[in-house]
Amino acid sequence: MRDAAVGFHCPTCVAEGVKETRQGRTAYGGTRPTTPTLTSIVLIALNAAVWLAVLVTGWQSSALVDRIALTPVGRCLLAADADRYFPSVTDEQVCGRIGGTEWVPGVADGAYWQLLTSAFAHVEVWHIGFNMLVLWMLGPQLELVLGRARFLALYLVSALAGGLAVYWLSGETSATLGASGAIYGLMGALLVVALKVGGDVRGVLTWLGINVVISLVLPVSWQGHLGGLLGGLAVAALMVFAPRERRAVVQWSGVGALTALLVAGIVARTLVLA
């Protein structure tokens, strides 16, 4: 990684990003951004805004977190004590009959927005700080290589893939939040780009390996990390290995098919939990 005015750049990625292709185009067909930091800045600002909203509404006891964190099934709460709930109750009507005072819906109850809103939500300072630092390090160089629209697709599909993995693999009443799935998607994309240009991937693999170990050792959502990583690898492969002829058609058709597959996985899990 090299120090630069916009963070840290991977030499092979920068070289690929500035390669002379069609005028105004990146190496992989996207429109070359004049300010490759813009999308990352907007994403960081969105995450910061949500974190501030959580902070001013109660921080660790914020009711907002219950609405935007990813919870596979709904939870029956006691409004007087946000830390207490009935873990065996997954039906709103039952919740009311046994004395629960608040029902918080999960994804299986129709709160599908949680699959993406959870990727913009954080509670702890260290959590948002680490995720936004990595986004600032990787985002601009990947946007320079892929173009703005393709980079944004990479970020959002990785976030959705991380959410799907949490939906399937986490506890039914667990609450998961954080941009880590999307961040791991960016790490996977960096690895794919480095492989495509024949760069030295040992540094990327080492960095990725350290983060995988952290995911397994610390009490974090390894499910979201795994899903985001696989999503990022898949989207990046579609982008950089698409044939030059009809490149855009192959790229966007592939991303559309991948997104449809993720949606099908969400529907299947919902039917299982219903």
Catalytic, out of 118, 158, 180, 215:
180
Q: Residue 14, exposed/middle/buried by CB under 10 A (0-12, 13-18, 19+)?
A: middle
- Per-residue pLDDT, averaged over 114-139, amounts to 96
**pLDDT at residue 48 greater than cutoff 90:** yes
The tokens of 3 are what?
Answer: 């120090």
pLDDT band per the 50, 70, 90 thresholds, residue 259: very high
- Per-residue pLDDT, averaged over 133-146, amounts to 96
d(CA 84, CA 70): 18
- Residue 180 falls in the annotated catalytic set: yes
Strands 102-104 and 75-78: antiparallel
**pLDDT at residue 166 greater than cutoff 80:** yes
Nearest alpha-carbon partner for 247 in 152, 143, 160, 150: 150
70: β partners: 176
Give residue 201's pLDDT.
Answer: 84
- Per-residue pLDDT, averaged over 18-47, amounts to 85
Q: Which pTM does this prediction carry?
A: 0.86
d(CA 203, CA 72): 36
pLDDT band per the 50, 70, 90 thresholds, residue 2: low
- Residue 225 falls in the annotated catalytic set: yes
- Per-residue pLDDT, averaged over 140-168, amounts to 97
Give residue 20's pLDDT.
Answer: 45
pLDDT band per the 50, 70, 90 thresholds, residue 215: confident
**pLDDT at residue 237 greater than cutoff 90:** yes
Pick 191 or 274 by higher pLDDT. 191
Give residue 9's pLDDT.
Answer: 63
Pick 19 or 213 by higher pLDDT. 213
Catalytic, out of 9, 158, 221, 225:
225
CATH class, range 2-62+113-273: mainly alpha
Structure-token match 């919740």, residue found: 95
Give residue 75's pLDDT.
Answer: 78
Give residue 1's pLDDT.
Answer: 62
Pick 45 or 19 by higher pLDDT. 45
Give residue 153's pLDDT.
Answer: 98
Per-residue pLDDT tens digits for 57-93: 999 888 899 899 999 998 777 655 555 555 556 565 5
Pick 232 or 19 by higher pLDDT. 232
The answer to whether 113 and 165 have CB atoms below 8 angstroms apart is no
- Domain ranges in the chain? 2-62+113-273
